[in-house]
Structure 1
Amino acid sequence: MRLLPFLMGSLLLGAVLPAQAMPAFARAYKQQYGYMPSCNACHTEGGGTALNGFGKAFKEAGKNDATFARIAAADSDGDGAANAAEAQGKANPGDKASTLKQPGNWLDMASLIPKEVQARFPGILTWMPRDAILTPADIATAKSMGATLSAADENTIYVPVKDQHPAGTALIFPVTFQGKTGFLLMTTDRALKITGVSVLHADKLPAAKSSKVYASFNGQQAQTVPAPKGSDLDAAITTAVKNAGVLLYVRLKGA
């Protein structure tokens, strides 16, 4: 299976037609403030990770175009400046370290790729993040493949590029067990064969750090991870990995 060699054309089209590639939040943010934000506007460590203060405020206030006005006067990151003022000044309203006087590099391409993702692909200098927006057809296809996805699973696929060709993928995604959520990182080669699954953040789900199930995914095709048996933590992790793998396949298979 050679899915990713075809990905470059679609990624290049994304550079020409960004409105079709951005997540709903990013599209709304750009319409409101005139520029494309980093995933770090809402997430602590890039797309797929936990929400920061601004992300939580945006979610709790309705997650639509009108939400920006509702949270404009709030100071979600506690740095003394209102959300709207920071956004208009190209500072990150979700990061206390990014201020109007010193906005930092949160909009640079290098800052768009979580450091943990970069560490999985040493030597890679070029990245092409691809936003995975799930259509009803995608969700139906995923269901036929044994995965349960919804529009809420919209995510960012990180694609490392070497010698002008995709070198694999990386995806950050949540795993929930008994009401507690942690975040995992999955990497694949260019044919979507899993090269690693590991814990990214699991402060609220510490047991995930000691699970032995991660090694069992290595070498499997991302879209064919078997459904788990049972209802323990390992089963929850396997379900999360299966859903993430199918998401990768569904979004990249037609590229």
Structure 2
Amino acid sequence: MRVSSLILLSLWGITHLMPAHAMPVFARYYKQQYGYMPSCHACHTEGGGTPLNNYGKTFKDNGKTLAAFGKMASLDSDGDGIVNSLEAQAKANPADKNSTPAKTGNWLDLASLIPKEVQALFPTIRAWLPKDAVLTATDIATAKTMGASLSMADENTIYIPVENQRPAGTALIFPAQYQGKTFFLLMATDKQLKITQIKVMNATEVPAAKSSSVYGKFVGMAAQSVPAPSSKDLDAAITQAVKNAGVLLYVRLKGA
């Protein structure tokens, strides 16, 4: 399913900045191996930016390269009795036991690409434009001048809700790091890229992240203008992660 070209042209004038069919590097590897773009659900539990599922973990353990797919080909990551390569070749999800070559399911449909938590932030929205934020060397250099440390590993999916053929905001799921452990946050903005909400998606490794009071301080800030943290505690780790995510949004959507 594709969103109309009129919607593409209305997105802050960004079509010249972000290719219409851009993909994060790992999805490009998947397409090179199997001939089609996968959903983020191939490697993530609930869309781009969320924790890895078993297939994603195996991909990571095998080096996160094109060659990793060959090493994983004879494995059965989802335990449905069908090896990964046969499922992927049939456009079934090798990470979901309910998706098989005989019944692939809707994992490649646009509606399935939008995480439920993201949809819940925009309950009246019925149309979405997921855009893969592929970072260039210029983007990374620009982000550094803005106090954000980004790399190609930070490539992500930006979820854009569309209303009346115009963008109504953005949402991004992204990781944060604290004392060597990872947790995941969800940020929503309005169409001017002002933060409207930050919430915890998954904090199994850092439970204290759920009770932090820092999230409310970001509401109303321009995504690219979150101040750099001045300490090294958990709130600082959250702040830096939010800053990085906000700058990522800005450089890919506003072309800073």
Structure 1 length-normalised TM:
0.92
Shift of 1:31: 2.4
Alpha-carbon distance in 1 for matches of 2:12, 2:127: 15
Structure 1 unmatched runs, 5+: none
CA contact (8 A) 1:8 1:166 kept: no
Residue in structure 2 matched with residue 92 of structure 1 by the alignment: 93
Matched, 1:137 2:138: yes
Q: Secondary structure at the match of 2:12?
A: helix
CA contact (8 A) 2:49 2:174 kept: yes
1:29-108 aligned at under 5 Å gives the runs 29-108=30-109
Distance 1:13 1:247, change over 3 A: closer
Alpha-carbon distance in 1 for matches of 2:81, 2:105: 16
Offset from partner CA, 1:167-195 (integer Å, 9 cap, x none): 00000001111122110000000110000
- Percent of aligned pairs sharing the same letter: 67
- The equivalent position to 2:15 in structure 1, one of 7, 10, 17, is 10
Distance 1:7 1:80, change over 3 A: farther
Letter in 1 for 2:166: H
Q: Secondary structure at the match of 1:186?
A: strand
Alpha-carbon distance in 2 for matches of 1:86, 1:76: 10
RMSD of aligned C-alpha atoms? 1.9
Shift of 1:81: 1.0
Q: Secondary structure at the match of 1:229?
A: coil
Superposed structure 1 runs of 4+ greater than 3 Å apart: 4-9, 11-15
Q: Secondary structure at the match of 1:241?
A: helix
Offset from partner CA, 1:190-238 (integer Å, 9 cap, x none): 1100000010111121111111111000000000000112111111100
Q: How many residues align?
A: 248
Residue in structure 1 matched with residue 184 of structure 2 by the alignment: 183
Letter in 1 for 2:237: A
CA contact (8 A) 1:5 1:190 kept: no
Letter in 2 for 1:135: T
Which region of structure 1 is more displaced relative to structure 2, 57-66 or 217-226?
57-66
Letter in 2 for 1:79: D
Alpha-carbon distance in 2 for matches of 1:55, 1:11: 31
Matched, 1:149 2:153: no
CA contact (8 A) 2:175 2:184 kept: yes
Structure 2 length-normalised TM:
0.92
Alpha-carbon distance in 2 for matches of 1:210, 1:168: 26
Alpha-carbon distance in 2 for matches of 1:231, 1:146: 15
Which region of structure 1 is more displaced relative to structure 2, 52-61 or 185-194?
52-61
Shift of 1:6: 4.2
Q: Secondary structure at the match of 1:199?
A: strand
Residue in structure 2 matched with residue 221 of structure 1 by the alignment: 222
Structure 2 unmatched runs, 5+: 1-8
Q: Secondary structure at the match of 1:128?
A: strand
Offset from partner CA, 1:1-40 (integer Å, 9 cap, x none): xxx954366199844xx2xx11112222222222221000
Alpha-carbon distance in 2 for matches of 1:13, 1:171: 16
1:21-36 aligned at under 5 Å gives the runs 21-36=22-37
CA contact (8 A) 1:195 1:219 kept: yes
Q: Secondary structure at the match of 1:26?
A: helix
